[in-house]
Amino acid sequence: MLSAGRILAAAGLGLSTIAFAPVAADATPQAGLVITHIKCNEQEDNTGADDAYLVVDGSTIWGPVQMTTGDSKDVQNVAVPQGKVLTLMEGDWPDDDDNLGAKTINGPGDYTFSDDGSNYVVTVANG
Ligand SMILES: [Ca+2]
Ligand SMILES: [Ca+2]
Ligand SMILES: [Ca+2]
């Protein structure tokens, strides 16, 4: 009796795991946009590397990563929701971080951030 009960319990767990899978799939964003690359044509800091990071809705979605003029880095397909504002920031200490620009992400393409004397190009692709 005990062993039969355990088998039933195990089967029940297996079924509930399967039942939850479609729920998790529904919760993931629609086939969306991803950041695939960032290029630094002109860094913001005068000395040392920039500490570049990308922000959406107040949350850092990538970085900080050290970048200097001429650097070109692949990004591991970081999701960025369509229609959201993507902000490129540059970390400083002890003074405040610098806002290098904000762009509304409307689709795949190259987005240039060029505030504060910098020039970065962020590439967005279909995920
Ligand atoms: Ca700076
Ligand atoms: Ca800095
Ligand atoms: Ca600063």
Could you tell me the residue range of the domain that residue 109 belongs to? 33-126
- Ligand 3 mean position, distance from CA 96 (Å): 5
- Ligand 2 mean position, distance from CA 39 (Å): 16
Q: Is residue 26 part of a domain?
A: no
Domain count of the chain? 1
- Residues 85 and 56 sit within 8 Å (Cβ to Cβ): yes
- Ligand 3 mean position, distance from CA 127 (Å): 33
Residues 42-97 pLDDT 10s? 999 999 999 999 999 999 999 999 999 999 999 999 999 999 999 999 999 999 99
**Structural Rg of the chain based on CA atoms:** 21
Which numbered ligand comes closest to the C-alpha of 67?
2
Would you state the pLDDT for residue 104?
98
Q: Is residue 85 part of a domain?
A: yes
Would you state the pLDDT for residue 6?
53
Buried b (16+ CB within 10 A) or exposed e, 81-108: eeeeebbbbbbeeeeeebebbebebeee
Which numbered ligand comes closest to the C-alpha of 97?
3
pTM above 0.85, yes or no: no
- Ligand 2 mean position, distance from CA 48 (Å): 8
- Residues 79 and 62 sit within 8 Å (Cβ to Cβ): no
Would you state the pLDDT for residue 17?
46
Would you state the pLDDT for residue 29?
47
Beta bridge partners of 109: 124
Q: Is residue 49 part of a domain?
A: yes
Residues 16-25 pLDDT 10s? 444 444 444 4
Q: Is residue 75 part of a domain?
A: yes
- Residues 51 and 64 sit within 8 Å (Cβ to Cβ): yes
Q: Is residue 103 part of a domain?
A: yes
Q: Is residue 83 part of a domain?
A: yes
